[in-house]
Amino acid sequence: MPFTSRGPRLDELVTIVDDFAENAPRRVARGLADEGELLVRDGFAISQAPDGRAWRPLKSARQRGRRPLMKTLALRDAATAAEVHAGGFTITTTAYGSFHQDGTRRIPARPFFPGRTLPPAWLARMGRAAEDALAMPR
């Protein structure tokens, strides 16, 4: 009995697999960077650190009721993926972002980037983003 096949030819399949293997690391890094930006923005929206702790409210009576770090949205909007490559990604922010991330004697810490270890909620979302980036095109 002869072997017959329907669909793409073998050389077309090899090309598809080669392209996937070559581009997968960059696709995953881009997907993780995009999800990282969304996670940072989500934290600003609910005034919450990546580990789930609520940010300290604003002290001043005239600012009560307003969410911290949301007056101009400049800090939130500056948190962007500055570098994406096959080895990973870097999310950057403004020069003054570290004062809010780490706190000072006068400014309470309101972290928007995770520490060395990703919190479980971030791990779950990043895992889904990586899986989505690896999905084979149809």
Q: Is residue 112 part of a domain?
A: yes
SS3 127: helix
| Measured CA angle at 40 (ends 31, 94), to 5 deg | 105
- Residue 94 has which token pair? 């403004």
C-alpha closest to that of 133 among 90, 92, 88: 88
- Divide the 138 residues of the chain into consecutive groups of 10 and give the mean pLDDT of each group: 66 80 86 93 96 92 83 92 76 92 96 91 94 80
Q: Look up the domain containing 91 and give its range.
A: 10-133
C-alpha closest to that of 129 among 43, 38, 17: 38
Domain count, the chain: 1
Q: Is residue 86 part of a domain?
A: yes
Q: Is residue 1 part of a domain?
A: no
pLDDT at 138: 61
Pairing verdict, β 88-92 and 80-85:
antiparallel
pTM for this model (two decimals)? 0.81
